[in-house]
Structures are given as structure tokens and as C-alpha cells.
Amino acid sequence: MSVLTVRQVRFRYLALYALRWLPSGLLIPVMILLMQERGLSLSQIGLAVTAQGLVVLALELPTGGMADALGRKPVLVTAGVLNLVSLALFAVADSVALFFLVFAVQGAYRALDSGPLESWYVDATLAADPEAEYERGLGHAGTVAGVAIAVGALLSGGLIALGPVGPVSALTGPVLVALALQAVALAALLALLVEVRPGRGSGALRASVAEAPRMVGQAFGLLRRSRVLLALVAVELFWGFGMVTFESLLPVRLAEVVGDPERAAALLGPASSAAWLASAAGAALTPLLLRWPGAAPGAALLRVLQGATVVGMGLLAGPVGVLVAYLACYTVHGASNPLHLGLLHRQVDGPYRTSVLSLNSMMGQSAGALGAVVLTALADATSVGTAMLVGAVALALAAPLYLPAWRAARRAAPTPAAGPPAGPVAGPLPGPDGGPAGTALVTAAAGAPAPAPTAAR
């Protein structure tokens, strides 16, 4: 019997979700500019950032098993402690080695934090009422995350505008506030997340670690047996590579056109806030896009459109042009995420779902690490605009990879009687910091799922 009602579970989930993303909003406008202020070149920043992607790549699948074996709360508490450590290090780091360590710790945090809170919410909701519709809370989480990041970014811009406080530079202030907010989030997690689980002992941890290699092998085996799934996961390779343009290079590009890094950072506060609201608006277009042109063709079109917005960021003169392109980019990004996640959900079933989502995340993180190295080095060697154009091409090149899913949906559409209509599915959306930009309710309006693919059996 659950100790919480459905309403209490949803309230606690959304409160914890907001507290989880508020510190990220504070960091988005200052992260790259602060590292530049402390003497790192763009290529050195790219090298340091790769640590996060590599650690996530190594830990994403095994940590999912740990959360199931040990419980979601201990894994989330461990993740919160690691985030505190990474933020404390970030506040004082002044060398490539220290920033590499910051992002390595951040990678471990991301891997542990990826999924357990959503899993707890679903499990706790069903424990309170097996007939409850938990999709509503997952959908609300997208709005909560977007607003939390927007508020954090706006607060960050305000702190930067106030200027330095004593020995603390204007760009360091938001990091210290993010550190304090992360401590609040950890305390709230300890108080609000109630998990009732049978005692499983230390053997559960050993079993989870022993199971990790088999989990990794099975996840990659799914790709060999499903061309549609392979193509969808391959999208993340281009998407993750190209996202470096608007996550890491945009602040540098804005500083370039403004002529002052601190003024650019102050502009990025409200701009980032507006971008996340634009992303939420883009996600709200999902039902329309599912009706026309459909999930797969819509996702392909949005990949090309996002590449075009990045071209705008790289070529348009003046801060107004760059920021308009930036807002357009995030609108497209918000619309793209639910379509992509919905297509993934329709290709898998049962125990494979979490593994495939983790694998999708791993591909994006590893590609993002490669993009951070290649595009920042290219920006140093040529110009930021040139690097953004290369990233824009990578984003657009992902579009044809949605063709197998489109063909599968067309083949399945004439035979709806083969199974019950697809219900709503929900999934976490990747954000500019590697984490979710929100969660959107996705209905399978683009056609019934393909007949039970081999990967789902």
C-alpha cells in the first residue's frame, strides 16, 4: 500500500523536477564564458567538456540497473552529492585538468540522474492507484523543467548585470548560487522522495554490476535486428554533434558580435529564459505535427529547419539577428524532441524500453563529446561562424535517417486491426546540458506501431 496519494506523488515529483533544473538554468549563460575568463581557449574547453560525454557513455546503461536493484532514492541522492562536488569544483577551477575533472564528475552525475526520478514517479503513482493515468504528470514535467530553466537563466543574467561582488567575478556569482540551490534540491530530495522497497542487501549491487556487460550487449544487439531502430539511434550521432553549436558556441558567437563577454553573458540570461519558453511552445506543436506531416516526416523536416537556424546564428550580423535565430533554434528543438522520442517508443516494448532510451542517450552524449572537440578546435583554427556552419550541416544530415521509420509507419497504417491502437507514451527530452529539456505527451497519431519488431521480442 502506498504511503502517498496520486496527487501527493505528482506534487512531489514536479517540485523535485523543478529544483533539479533550476541550477542548470543559472549555469547555461555563463559556463563557456567563465572558462574563457579563466584562460581556456575554445579547443581546451572542448577537450574538458568531452569528459562528461565519455563518462556518461561508460555508465549510462549500468547505472540504470543500479537504480532498479538498489532503489531510486539512493541513486538520486548519490547523483545529487556528485553534482554538489562538480559545482564546487567549477566555482574554483582555473586549469584544463581541473575543468576536465569537473566535467568527469558531472558525467557521473548525469548517468546516475538519468531516469530514476521519472521511474519513481510512475511506480509510486501506480502503487497509490493501479488505474491512475501518470502521463499527465510526465507532461507537466516538461513545462516545469522549461520554466525552471528559464527562471534560472533570467536570475543568472540579473546576477551578471549586478557585476562583481568583492573577489567574486560577475560570471562566478551564478555558479555559487547554483551550488546553494543544488544543496536545497538535495535536502528536498531526502525529505520528499518516499520509496517503499523490500530489503535486497549488498547482493543486489553485486548482481547489478555483474549484469551490466550483458545489458550493454543486449542493447547493441537490438540495433542489429531492427533497421528502423538503428536509423533512429543514428540520428543522435548527428544531433549530438550539431547541438554543440547552440549549447557551447552560441555564447562565444554572441560575445563576438557584442564585443564584450560580460555584456553578452548578461544578454544570454533573458535570452536563455526566452529560449526555454520557446522550446516549451515548440513542444506544444506536437499534436499538430503528428497529424501533419506525421512523426517521421515532421522530425526529418525539423532537422533541416534546425540546421537553417544554426546557419542564421553563424552568419547573421548583430546581436538581434543572432538571438532571433537562437530563439528559432530552440523552438524547433522543443518540437523535435517529442517526435523523436515517440518514434523510439513505438519501436520497443517491455524490458527493452529503458535500455534503448539509455542507448539513445549514450549516442547523443558521445557524439556531443566528439563535436565539442572538433567544432571548438575548428572555431579556434578558423572562426566561430565556420564551426557553426559545419554543425548546421551535421544537423541537417540526420533528416534522411527518419525514412525507415516513415516507411514502417506507412506499411503498418493499412492494418490497424493487427493490434490495439497505440496509446500515449512519454519520455524525457535531452537538453542543452545533456539532460532533459522537458517531457511531452506523445500520441501515436502518425500510424499504429510497426508489427512487433524483432528488437521488441
* Domain presence at residue 248: yes
**Per-position DSSP letters for 178-226, written without gaps between them:** HHHHHHHHHHHHHHH--------HHHHHHHHHHHHHHHHHHHHHHHHH-
Can you give the CATH number for the domain in which 237 is found? 1.20.1250.20
Could you tell me if residue 107 is inside a domain?
Answer: yes
Phi, psi of 425, deg, nearest 5: -130, 155
User: What's the structural domain count of the chain?
Assistant: 1
pLDDT in tens, the chain (457 residues): 457 888 999 999 999 999 999 999 999 888 988 999 999 998 999 889 889 888 987 887 777 667 666 778 988 999 999 999 999 999 999 999 999 999 999 999 988 887 788 778 878 888 888 887 765 676 677 778 888 888 998 899 899 888 898 889 999 999 999 999 999 999 999 999 988 765 555 565 666 666 656 666 676 777 788 899 999 999 999 999 999 999 889 999 999 999 888 888 888 878 888 988 888 788 778 788 888 898 899 999 999 999 999 999 999 988 999 999 999 999 999 888 878 877 886 776 555 566 677 778 878 888 988 998 999 999 999 999 999 999 999 999 999 999 999 998 888 765 444 433 333 333 333 333 334 333 332 222 233 223 223 332 2
Looking at the domain assignment, is residue 418 inside a domain?
yes
Q: Is residue 1 part of a domain?
A: no
C-alpha cell recorded at residue 153: 537563466
Tell me how crowded residue 292 is: count the other CB atoms within 10 A of its CB. 10
Domain containing residue 168: 6-194+204-456
Domain membership flag for residue 199? no
Q: Is residue 185 part of a domain?
A: yes
pLDDT tens for 106-121 read 999 988 887 788 778 8
Tally the residues of the chain: 457
Phi-psi region of 294 (alpha: psi -120 to 50; beta: other; left: phi over 0): left
**Residue 452 belongs to some domain of the structure:** yes
Q: Is residue 327 part of a domain?
A: yes
Whether 391 and 310 have beta carbons less than 8 Å apart is answered as yes
Write out the three cell numbers for 121.
514517479
Residue owning grid cell 572538433: 374
